[in-house]
């Protein structure tokens, strides 16, 4: 029987550990667990991933390093952008009002 194990930074990465962390919606297991798909990557997903496959005859492993740059925008960044848009919109309305008043 084929057994497949995944590790992130030498920590076992399984359906059980994913469920405990509440990230099961971001993880997809395909082809009888032979393919692991990570969706909506975040900087916390950075690391070294290893797939280890074992049966009675052999043990095979493959390691890849994943680097995630520019993860999702944080709440502070979104709030800052929202404030900037509101201020710009207010400035445009004020300038339009001033121009209309001067005519």
pLDDT along the chain (103 residues), means of 10: 89 73 72 82 86 91 86 68 79 76 73
Specify the pLDDT at position 53: 92
Specify the pLDDT at position 49: 92
Q: Which two tokens stand for residue 8?
A: 């992130």
pTM: 0.60
The helix (H) or strand (E) run that includes residue 80 is helix 75-102
């Amino acid at each position: 029987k084929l057994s497949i194990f995944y590790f992130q930074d030498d920590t076992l990465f399984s359906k059980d550990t994913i469920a405990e962390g509440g990230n099961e919606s971001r993880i997809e297991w395909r082809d009888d667990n032979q393919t692991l798909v990570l969706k909506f990557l975040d900087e916390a997903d950075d690391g070294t991933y290893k797939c280890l496959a074992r049966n009675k005859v052999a043990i095979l492993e493959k390691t890849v390093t994943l680097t995630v740059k520019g993860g999702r925008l944080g709440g502070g960044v979104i709030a800052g952008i929202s404030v900037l848009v509101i201020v710009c919109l207010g400035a445009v309305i004020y300038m339009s009002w001033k121009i209309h008043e001067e005519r």
